[in-house]
Chain A
């Protein structure tokens, strides 16, 4: 299993986590090449459908990352995202996916190092769960 490199789709908000991920790059902090980023303006944009579709279409895990609670550029988008995330976990479990395959984190624009840590952690956790196979979470 250690050879398995998971395919992870990450939804990052433009203002905090995407900027944080940029900082990870600027400071040349490395992390596994497992995560592919979809930039959204706010994590509040992330529709549960996106997460289900990502797993359905071949991702092994999904990360949603936004501004710290209370620091959302759009005031309350990350709270909406958090609420949806909790519901999504139930929904995904119901659909037969291991809820550990989705993860939410708060990474600010100055937390480049934290972003790399989050990616390494998510990669390790998803790798432990193994590849996502249809009808087998």
Chain B
């Protein structure tokens, strides 16, 4: 490439940079740097006129490299690469000096911030002079998607992608899809029956020609990159052959072993040969090996002869590993309900009439253990107390966030109690009521008028007195200590990221935000993307959400996941490793350092002498640069991050400007 002609552009970002960094001084400083042809400052470089300024200068001054001193490259590097592309330059002849996030926003002293910005700019220009144009290659995209998690988020995402015309693998670790939504009784604020609106969608998933449903299965390994992920799925043994079982359930009636019914939150018993709930999809039975006498001790086998026609029972079934190839992945691993055992003062686990909101849903549900009757051990409560914010907005247990659904589900549950037990005394202890969604405030208002007492106060303790419970709280409006009698206490437990989701996050290398939910690529503008191309988030794995928000986000994630699938091609990483064959001594250190098996030895011939050198598979290389740090001779280098380029920055930073 010809001698570098660098254009330097310094953004004011309104006052964001300009108020702390002296931008005109910075421009004058930039003009003094070697090989800088032109240096300008401008109010908003990312705006259309800002971009045009750069494009015009590239032509007018015959620039071949550009430095933009502005916000983080994680923000606008793609924008300015496009500007270079439009101006006829290679998009990789661009470097960004981060003088906003790393300078003007974190420092206050104008003199010091400007000096630091000068140093950042000098180093960036030094590197830019040494940049080389890079080539982007394209690879084909496998036209299918993987959806991890079969709750409402995963169901919606899978249906949208499948309806678009692409193949979807929907993986659910439980024996049926449906997730938490299936456990709910009514949904706020419309009081729709949760199962009634969910089961048609579940049935659609089960019958969709484009959806391959893999239940009782987990993700074991993920390799590859956007467009070409290779996913290993571990299918746990059901001990019932899915393709033979017709769901008649005769076998279960012969099973002699009972276990807690987890779908009913352990509030009832079920057989260890069971179907999670009647509308399960797939409608196939399953044997829990932790309880089954055969899997535990090789005895019993009473179920096997019952299924003599279909022969669907296979007590020797083994775990299966499946490999699938997909272009994109949607993570929809959902949430776990907060376990209030962590807050022993509330008496959960100690008193049977202290229950969680989710347990209440099962009690209230017509398909639940009491067929919808609100009763604990057969006794209907007369005094019910709800406690808000259990496990949310609570620094003492490390959950500072609001779970966004508890205020409204409590209002709904209070309403359901009023409906079923018209004479019950109902008290709700809240910190603040957050009724922010469509129809929420109206619903909350309606519930308050149904003879339900809302008291603003923190609950300190739930304890036993005589035959009943006492809820001790401080009314923070009256400044009074209160003791309210109760024979049912419902804890409005919040959401925590699902335990299974964390394992998926590790496999996919997803970042978490401070609340431990998965981190989106940008909180405002890329709310369903992750930092990894081709991997998207849907539902509560990204943060607590109600059902409408979850469905909307799932459809959003599905639309995003369909983009590479419908384009059919993706660009591969351009900043990959390259080998200077003359320097390579075939030691293989780079091969060892490479996490992607992208490097191998290849035989070349120089002046008639055959020898081995390292060779990079550019499709497999993801551009981490580990090989370049391992190489003793400097033969293997990461493009745009070469030793020479990074050393030039180091040298520039070493110069002191005082």
CB distance from A88 to the nearest CB of B (A): 11
Task: Indicate if A9 sits at the interface (CB-CB under 8 A).
Answer: yes
Q: Which of B543-601 contact A (CB under 8 A)?
A: 575, 593, 595-596
Residue among A21, A41, A109 facing the most chain B CB atoms (10 A cut-off): A41
Q: Which of A16-48 contact B (CB under 8 A)?
A: 16, 18-19, 21-22, 24-26, 28-31, 33, 36-42, 44-48
Is the Cβ of A80 less than 8 Å from the Cβ of B629?
A: yes
Chain B: interface residue total (CB-CB under 8 A): 54
* Contacting residue for A53 out of B102, B512, B629, B650, CB 8 A: B650
Is the Cβ of B654 less than 8 Å from the Cβ of A46?
A: no
Cα distance A70–B512 in the bound complex, in angstroms: 13
Q: Which of A78-102 contact B (CB under 8 A)?
A: 80, 84
CB distance from A41 to the nearest CB of B (A): 5
Is the Cβ of B98 less than 8 Å from the Cβ of A109?
A: no
Closest to A53 in B: B650
Is the Cβ of B651 less than 8 Å from the Cβ of A53?
A: yes
Q: Given the complex, which residues of A lie within 8 Å of B629, measured CB to CB? A: 44-48, 80, 84
Is the Cβ of A37 less than 8 Å from the Cβ of B98?
A: yes
CB distance from A95 to the nearest CB of B (A): 16
Known: A36-B116, A110-B519. A57 touches B654 (CB 8 A): yes
Closest to A32 in B: B107
Is the Cβ of A33 less than 8 Å from the Cβ of B113?
A: yes
CB distance from A89 to the nearest CB of B (A): 16
Known: A46-B629, A110-B514. A41 touches B106 (CB 8 A): no
1/0 contact string of B448-481 vs chain A (CB within 8 Å): 0000000000000000000000000000000000
Cα distance A22–B75 in the bound complex, in angstroms: 10
Closest to A56 in B: B654
Closest to A84 in B: B629
1/0 contact string of B628-649 vs chain A (CB within 8 Å): 1110000000100101001101
Is the Cβ of B626 less than 8 Å from the Cβ of A74?
A: yes
Closest to B101 in A: A25
Known: A19-B531, A30-B107, A41-B641. A74 touches B595 (CB 8 A): yes
Which of B62-70, B404-412, B438-446, B617-625 sits within the interface?
Answer: B617-625
Residue among B75, B102, B509 facing the most chain A CB atoms (10 A cut-off): B102
Q: Given the complex, which residues of A lie within 8 Å of B596, measured CB to CB? A: 74
Q: Given the complex, which residues of A lie within 8 Å of B106, measured CB to CB? A: 24-25, 28-31, 33, 116
Task: Indicate if A49 sits at the interface (CB-CB under 8 A).
Answer: yes
1/0 contact string of B80-102 vs chain A (CB within 8 Å): 00000000000000000010111
Task: Indicate if B112 sits at the interface (CB-CB under 8 A).
Answer: yes
CB distance from B504 to the nearest CB of A (A): 14
Q: Given the complex, which residues of B lie within 8 Å of A36, measured CB to CB? A: 116, 119-120, 123, 653
Task: Indicate if B269 sits at the interface (CB-CB under 8 A).
Answer: no
Is the Cβ of A33 less than 8 Å from the Cβ of B654?
A: no
Closest to B649 in A: A38
Cα distance A57–B506 in the bound complex, in angstroms: 39
Task: Indicate if A106 sits at the interface (CB-CB under 8 A).
Answer: no
Q: Given the complex, which residues of B lie within 8 Å of A53, measured CB to CB? A: 647, 650-651
Residue among A24, A44, A109 facing the most chain B CB atoms (10 A cut-off): A44
Known: A58-B656, A59-B653, A108-B511. A45 touches B626 (CB 8 A): yes
Q: A19-B74, A38-B646 are known contacts; what are 15 more A-B pairs with Cβ within 8 Å? A: A9-B650, A14-B74, A15-B531, A25-B106, A41-B575, A41-B623, A42-B625, A45-B624, A48-B629, A54-B654, A57-B653, A58-B656, A74-B595, A74-B624, A80-B593
B contact set with A: CB distance below 8 Å: 72-75, 98, 100-103, 105-109, 112-113, 115-116, 119-120, 123, 506, 509, 511-514, 519, 531-532, 575, 593, 595-596, 622-626, 628-630, 638, 641, 643, 646-647, 649-651, 653-656
A contact set with B: CB distance below 8 Å: 7, 9, 14-16, 18-19, 21-22, 24-26, 28-31, 33, 36-42, 44-50, 53-54, 56-59, 70-77, 80, 84, 108-111, 116
Q: List 5 A-B contacts (CB under 8 A).
A: A36-B123, A44-B593, A46-B629, A59-B650, A80-B630
